[in-house]
Structure 1
Amino acid sequence: MAVTTTQRPLVRAAGLVKEFRRVKRITGRLGALRTFVGRDYDVIRAVDDVSFDIAGGELVGYLGPNGAGKSTTIKMLTGILTPTAGTVSIAGHDPSRERKANALNIGVVFGQRSQLWWDLPLRESFRAVRDLYGVPQREGDRRQGELVELLDMDEFLDAPVRQLSLGQRMRGDLAAAMLHQPRLLYLDEPTVGLDVVAKQRIREFVAHANAERGTTVVLTTHDLEDVEQLCRRIVLIDHGRVLYDGALTELMARYAPYRDLVVTLAEPADVDVRGAEQVARDGLVVTLRFRSDQVRAPEIIAAVTSVHAVVDLSVVEPRLEAVIGRIYTQRGLPENPA
């Protein structure tokens, strides 16, 4: 989704390429008695001509299967890796060349790695982060108090980080990433391994940071419920290339225009109504599928209830997981969206 304003995008990636060399051992013979061992290299292109802009205040899901190039892209955006080709600009800075300036603009949370000090109480870890970024003590204490309240961390604030549960540590990492009030927050699998309650708390905090503070968020995750709840725009990547960049609603409307009507009948029967197809039947429960861009749910419901006695019914929306799975299976956007 292109930025339509004249304001410079907060994140600009243009023609990004990242290649890695992998050593390949070569053996052979020189005559009857001598052998040689040499080295050659395979070139692995992890990211292949990726371009996108992200405006300030957006919350973007950056998605792809394992090995698609997501993490490599994020590492170039954060300055950990230097692109083989192409350019990256974060708030006007080259992240790999202007590391200090870039670090002041970004916060990063990796689900499997912590930026907290393992043996320090969480409170002391926050103090160390505050000092690292040069946040004045009074202002740091104020921000810490807000984050502790938002993430409900007061009861374990004085516990050593090594004693925290995964959900508690993730809340601590989020707070640490936000203490210096970055303009841009990168989240890599922020809810991995968390229970339902902990996941929801993390999602609510991210939504609050984006809506109330205007924090721009780039989210990479395999938990597509995170995406459904948080993201209005998604970028799909596979084999290092962008497959889709646009609104989540547009993707769903185009590639999942159907809805399922699940009906529990008073008596077992097949259901044949105009505008819908019976796709499953299990005893008294019948599932009808219809295209929501061609017929409205109330019309299908009226047609069913005019012929059959109905005990219960519900309309089931398509899941993003099914659509994304189909795109990855076909290694591209389906030619026939229906």
Structure 2
Amino acid sequence: MSRQESSLRRFVTTRLLLLPATLWMVATILFVLLRIVPGDPVDAILGPRASEAVREQMRADLGLTGSLWVQYLNYLGQLLRLDLGTSISSTGKPVREIIATFFPASAELAIAALLVALAISIPLGVLAATHPRSPVDTATRTASILTYAIPVFWVGMMVQLVFGVYLGWFPIGNRLPVSMAEPRAITGLYAIDAAVTGNWAALGEALHHLAMPAVTLGLVLAGVFVRTIRVHLTEVLRSPYIAAARAKGLREWRVVFVHAGRNALVPILTVMGLVVASLMGGALLTEVTFSWPGLASRLILAIGQRDYPVVQGLVVFFASIAIAVSLLLDILNAYIDPRIRY
């Protein structure tokens, strides 16, 4: 085994060992926060007229019996068994089933929004970096700041108002028309399932309903991506080796995308990965605005109903996604830039 392979393996092993520790910290903080929030969840769920026997049963279902230390150990034991609990407001449905039901909608929205953001940010970021201090650069930076600063729910409401209500071009909510049956489930992502099964009518409607929420969330992400690409690519393009590559007569696209792009890729991927890891949280307001039946909307409903097992399970699930994305980014960055391994 070469020295580079050994260092990469050691780096990956260290990150994998830190993975459960990070998830344990998130679960512990969540456990503490939910128990120091003012108010009794049993009172909020059952009301003041419930009998003591029913209240005690509810406390047992919520894991609120015994000392705080006992509750904490029981909670960790559940997580180690991959048991995220059982919903109180959904007639005893396990949280894992809720995730399986609602997560595909969130994943479809997140993937579509990411594709929109990349389609906008890569050409604009490269254009701004290759034309510094030009009108194009100024306009691009201004637009990226505005799209990032404007609240996503306000953008969503304006998009709904203009393109959904006034012009009537797009539907303002849901994943499919109420009268249309869902495509045969394969991945849970309607657009992919409809394309795989050849259900072209469902594919058209799925993309039609997905367009507005995906563009809304994608515009906000693009504001971050454009500035990140511009800053790091501009810095790399000022390097002496880029001037040497140009002096050799290489074509500009090769200088930008091959020579400069590789060295600018690590910080760009890091920032993009952090944004993507938090995409589920950012999708929350978008899902609520567009009545999108995703996991973030289900989390809002669980918070309103004081359904603590669902809140705990979904937050741990979101945290697991963020940690996994962060791990993949670390490994990818270490592979691209060997200096990170040491």
Decide which structure has the larger Cα Rg and report it. Answer: 1
Structure with the higher strand share, 1 or 2: 1
- TM normalised by structure 1 equals 0.24
Structure with the higher helix share, 1 or 2: 2
- TM normalised by structure 2 equals 0.24
